[in-house]
Amino acid sequence: MAKTSQKVRKAPKYKVREHNRCKVCGRPHGYMRKFGLCRVCFRELASKGELPGVTKSSW
């Protein structure tokens, strides 16, 4: 597990190989560029009110 985290932190040989990952959990899928988070972490932080400017929609 430690080797995997070191590989993720290390810059890739070529810029094209970079992949967006969540800042909180490191998840590569469901990534939202605007916030730098995956959908799971985004939902948790938004429901706690820790993301400024994000409100739950209702209609």
* Structural domain count, the chain: 1
Q: Is the pTM of this model over 0.75?
A: no
**In a domain? residue 7:** no
CATH code for position 32: 4.10.830.10
Helix residue ranges, H only, the chain: 2-9, 39-48
Tokens 């938004």 map to which residue? Answer: 46
pLDDT at 1 over 60: no
- Is 57 annotated to bind a ligand? Reply is no
Domain coverage including residue 40:
18-51
pLDDT at 2 over 60: no
**In a domain? residue 28:** yes
- Is 31 annotated to bind a ligand? Reply is no
**In a domain? residue 33:** yes
- The CA distances from residue 7 to 2, 12, 14, 36, 47, in Å, are 9, 9, 14, 19, 32
**In a domain? residue 43:** yes
pLDDT at residue 7 in the model: 65
**In a domain? residue 22:** yes
- Is 41 annotated to bind a ligand? Reply is yes
Kindly report, residue by residue over 3-49, the tens digit of the pLDDT: 666 666 777 788 888 888 899 988 899 999 999 999 999 999 999 99
**In a domain? residue 12:** no
- Is 38 annotated to bind a ligand? Reply is yes
pLDDT at residue 52 in the model: 92
pLDDT at residue 16 in the model: 85
**In a domain? residue 32:** yes
